[in-house]
Structure formats: C-alpha cells, structure tokens
C-alpha cells in the first residue's frame, strides 16, 4: 500500500459520506494522534494536515537540533549531524520539520485497522448527524418516497436516503400507498433503536394539520393568526380553534380562504377529512357553543369545578351536535376540555322553543315572510309577540292576512306541545348517538 492508495482510502470518506466535513477531518486527525501516542509516547510535536479537497493526509514531526551526544529523546530531538544531512544550513537550537512516511512508520496492518476504525466512527457520525438533523425537525413536515410496505408499518426514504418509519397507527384510516409514492408527514419522534436511528413520522398527529395550515395560510406563518388548539379524528373530522392578534383580520375567513380555496387543499391532503375552523375565546359558554357547531344550542349549564357542561338542544339539533358515530361531540369535548352531556329540552325550556319563519314557506307566501323579516320578525315567536294591528301597520299587510299567519303559527306550537308531552326523554340524548352529517367546515363570527 503506497501513499497514493492511502490517500484513496481516506479520500473516499471525505467525498462520499454525507456528514460535516470539519467533524470528519477532526476524527481522522484524532485517530492518527492515537497511533502516534502508541508508537512514540506523545503526539505533541506532530502536526497532522488533512486536505479535505483532495482527500490527502500529511503528518509532520518537529524535532529540536542538539549536539550529537546530547540526544536523549529521538522523538523530540535530533543530532546536528543528522539534521545537516537533511539541510546543510541547520544550526543548533533550530527545529527540523520532517514529513512522516505513514506506511513506513505505522505499517500496513495498522493502516488497515485505522481504516476500519474510521469506517466505524464515520457510521457513528452519520447516525449522530441524522439524529441531530431530525431532532431539529420534530414537528415539521418532511417528504419521503414509499420504499417498502409492511402490514404494520411503511418504510419511507428521504432525499438523502435516510429511513423514515410510518406505523399503521400514524396513517390516516383507509389510506393506500404504493411503492414509489411521495408522502408528506410530520416528524413525530426521533430515538435510537439499538445503534440505528428510528425516525417516526405521522399523518395523524395534530401537528401535521397545524403545519399544513401554516403552509397554506400566510397569516399563520407570519404570526398574525395563532392556532390555539387542534383536535382530530383522522380521516373523519378535525376542529381547529384560531385567534387573531389583529382586529382587522378574520381568523376563520383567513384560514378558509375565498370560497374555501385555502382549506380545500388541506382537506384533500387529509383524505377528505372535514375541518371545522372556529374562533377561540376564553368565554367557556361561547367556546362550547362554537365547538358544537353546526348544532344550535338552546341553553347550557356549566360546572367549572368538575369541567362538565349540560347542553340542551331542540330535537332536530341533537343529531348534529353528536355527529356521525359521536365524532362531533367527542371532538368538541376534547377541544374545550369539558365533558359534554347533551339533553333534549325539558318542559321548562320548551317554552322558549322557536321556529324560523322559513319553515312555514309551504303555508305562508314567501313575500309575506319577507315583509315580516323587514320588520325584524325572523321566527314564529317574534311574530306572535306582536299585536295584529302592529304587524298590519308595520309590515303593510291586510288584517285578514295577519290573522291567517298568526293562526298558522299558533297551530304549529300547539301541535308540537302535544307531541312533546307524549315524548318526554328519560335519558341524555348523548347516550344514543345518531347518524348525522357534520355540516359545514367553518363558523361565522358571532
């Protein structure tokens, strides 16, 4: 093994290993200083030069020139006669710099051992570098290519060939991948599995949705809008509570975008997972009301000590509050931190039961409903609260027409009252979840 082959041995690590070059040069230097200490007892008078560009390695030894009969340590001293054989102009007290023939000084076996040691150290450096890199990326989105698919997990390779593991539990239900697919996921954890780094990525972690929102919504990236809380049932539904530090910015509107342009790409990435974006508030009652959207709450009793809330709803709103398979109420509970119990309205609360005028469009002419809306009457009870003469005067309607409208509205409440007395609930509505469409993805500002 000549000097050129030695250069090639260490040069391959310099050029091919994807690790910090300065750290690699330090490792090579430390390794040869260990060899020098073993051979000479000390490495203090040696200079090791590693040329990172050429993959070259040089070792120089410094020795002090003394009289020939005063040499006591051949490693640090050299006789005058020997020194002048190297350079005739040398004088006593000067230093001689000599380049060490690495192969001759250490032997082939030592060099091969050094190569093996270096390979081991480089592997450790690469492992440490991967761990450091991905530790810094925890909670960030990375992209990988599907390399291998197993029953319980998927192996991804990033652009540098590092292995990323996505367990089945971190995959959105019913997601299907094929070898070669490009997949985005968030780095969930980084740990050591024996001597190898284990990088776990996830598509179900709430941070994945948070980062997708950050990429799609510039106001979040710039810090004008903050994501306060996120809860998910991957592939089904998610609820995101956002808050704006600028009163001029509507955080819900900014996240959704014009006609849903911003949220649409995220929904597609999450396999059509419904995303409810709501305004965060410290008002517990209002926050619970928003969290249970699209259901409309009639009344609520809150126990702040035990973190429980009893919510009363009209019969037609219960299925919306619970959601398909109970997903809406579960997410609302997680988002607010309160255990939510849903009940149908009791007899006491039925007195406040009201119906939107649009529900009577098959019995009352639309133009009449529109006239009533113009005077501020949007619901049946708001109409019944006024006298016949006042309605006729303000809405510019005939008295006979007003009488007929009020008869229809009263009849509806009377018939509903009979039905409700015959069907009083004996248990919370939450105990029997009903199937329901979760509704829209956003809620308007109150």
Say if 15 falls within a structural domain: yes
Same domain for 402 and 277 = no
Residue 84 belongs to a domain with what CATH number? 3.30.1480
Say if 352 falls within a structural domain: no
In this predicted structure, what is the pLDDT of residue 191? 87
Say if 43 falls within a structural domain: yes
pTM for the structure as a whole? 0.61
Same domain for 127 and 231 = no
Same domain for 156 and 213 = no
* Three-state SS annotation for the chain: CCHHHHHHHHHHHHHHCCCCHHHHHHHHHHHHHHHHHHHHCCCCCEEEEEECCCCEEEEEEEEEEECHHHCCCCCCEEEHHHHHHHCCCCCCCCEEEEECCHHHHHHHHHHHHHHHHHHHHHHHHHHHHHHHHHHHCCCCEEEEEEEEECCCEEEEECCCCCEEEEEHHHCCCCCCCCCCCEEEEEEEEEEEECCEEEEEEECCCHHHHHHHHHHHCHHHHCCCEEEEEEEEECCCEEEEEEEECCCCCCHHHHHHCHHHHHHHHHHHHCCCCEEEEEECCCCHHHHHHHHCCCCCEEEEEEECCCCEEEEEECHHHHHHHHCHHHHHHHHHHHHHCCEEEEEECCHHHHCCCCCEHHHHCCCCCHHHHHHHHHCCCCEHHHHHCCCHHHHHHHHCCCHHHHHHHHHHHHHHHHHHHHHHHHCCCCCCHHHCCCCCCCCCCECCCC
Task: Pick the last residue of a domain from 178, 204, 230.
Answer: 204
Say if 39 falls within a structural domain: yes
Same domain for 341 and 272 = yes
Same domain for 106 and 75 = yes
Same domain for 294 and 256 = yes
Averages of pLDDT over runs of 10 residues in the chain (446 residues) are 49 56 76 83 85 70 89 87 87 87 74 76 80 91 94 92 93 91 94 86 95 93 93 94 89 89 91 92 92 89 91 87 89 94 67 69 85 81 84 87 90 61 43 36 39
In this predicted structure, what is the pLDDT of residue 8? 53
Same domain for 22 and 117 = yes
Residue 281 belongs to a domain with what CATH number? 3.30.300.20
Residue 377 belongs to a domain with what CATH number? 1.10.150
Residue 175 belongs to a domain with what CATH number? 2.40.50.140
Same domain for 176 and 150 = yes
Same domain for 376 and 316 = no
Report the number of distinct structural domains present in the chain.
Answer: 4
In this predicted structure, what is the pLDDT of residue 429? 46
Same domain for 411 and 326 = no
Look up the domain containing 72 and give its range: 3-134
In this predicted structure, what is the pLDDT of residue 123? 78
């Amino acid at each position: 093994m000549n000097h050129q082959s030695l250069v090639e041995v260490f040069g391959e690590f310099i050029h091919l290993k994807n690790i910090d070059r300065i750290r690699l040069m330090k490792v090579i230097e430390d390794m040869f200083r260990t060899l020098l200490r073993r051979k000479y007892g000390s490495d203090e008078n040696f200079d090791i030069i590693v040329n990172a560009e050429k993959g070259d390695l040089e070792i120089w030894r410094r020795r002090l020139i003394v009289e020939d009969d005063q040499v006591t340590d051949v490693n640090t001293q050299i006789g005058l006669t020997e020194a002048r054989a190297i350079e005739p102009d040398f004088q006593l007290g000067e230093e001689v710099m000599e380049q060490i023939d690495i192969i001759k000084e250490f032997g082939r076996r030592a060099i091969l051992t050094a190569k093996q040691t270096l390979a081991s150290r480089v592997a450790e450096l690469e492992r440490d570098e991967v761990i450091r890199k991905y530790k810094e990326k925890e909670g960030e989105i990375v992209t990988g290519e599907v390399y291998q698919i197993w029953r319980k997990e998927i192996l991804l390779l990033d652009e540098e060939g590092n292995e990323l593991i996505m367990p089945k539990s971190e995959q959105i239900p019913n997601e299907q991948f094929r070898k070669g697919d490009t997949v985005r996921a968030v780095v969930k954890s980084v740990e050591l599995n024996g001597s190898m780094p284990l990088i776990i990525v996830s598509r179900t972690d709430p941070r994945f949705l948070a980062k997708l929102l950050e990429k799609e919504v510039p106001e979040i990236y710039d810090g004008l809008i903050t994501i306060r809380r996120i809860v998910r049932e991957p592939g089904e539904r998610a609820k995101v509570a956002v808050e704006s530090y600028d009163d001029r910015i509507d955080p819900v509107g900014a996240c959704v975008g014009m006609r849903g342009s911003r949220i649409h790409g995220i929904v597609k990435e999450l396999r059509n997972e419904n995303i409810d974006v709501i305004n965060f508030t410290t008002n517990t009652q209002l926050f619970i009301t928003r969290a249970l959207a699209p259901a409309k709450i009639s009344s609520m009793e809150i126990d702040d000590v035990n973190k429980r809330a009893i919510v009363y709803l009209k019969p037609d709103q219960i299925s919306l509050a619970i959601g398909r398979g109970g997903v809406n109420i579960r997410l609302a509970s997680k988002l607010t931190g309160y255990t939510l119990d849903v009940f149908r309205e009791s007899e006491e609360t039925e007195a406040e039961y009201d119906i939107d005028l649009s529900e009577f469009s098959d019995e009352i002419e639309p133009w009449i409903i529109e006239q009533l809306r113009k005077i501020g009457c949007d619901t049946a009870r708001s109409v019944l609260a006024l006298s016949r003469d006042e309605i006729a005067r303000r809405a510019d309607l005939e008295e006979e027409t007003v009488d007929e409208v009020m008869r229809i509205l009263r009849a509806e409440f009377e018939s509903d009252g009979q039905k409700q007395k015959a069907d009083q609930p004996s248990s919370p509505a939450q105990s029997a979840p009903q199937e329901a469409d979760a509704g829209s993805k956003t809620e308007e500002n109150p």
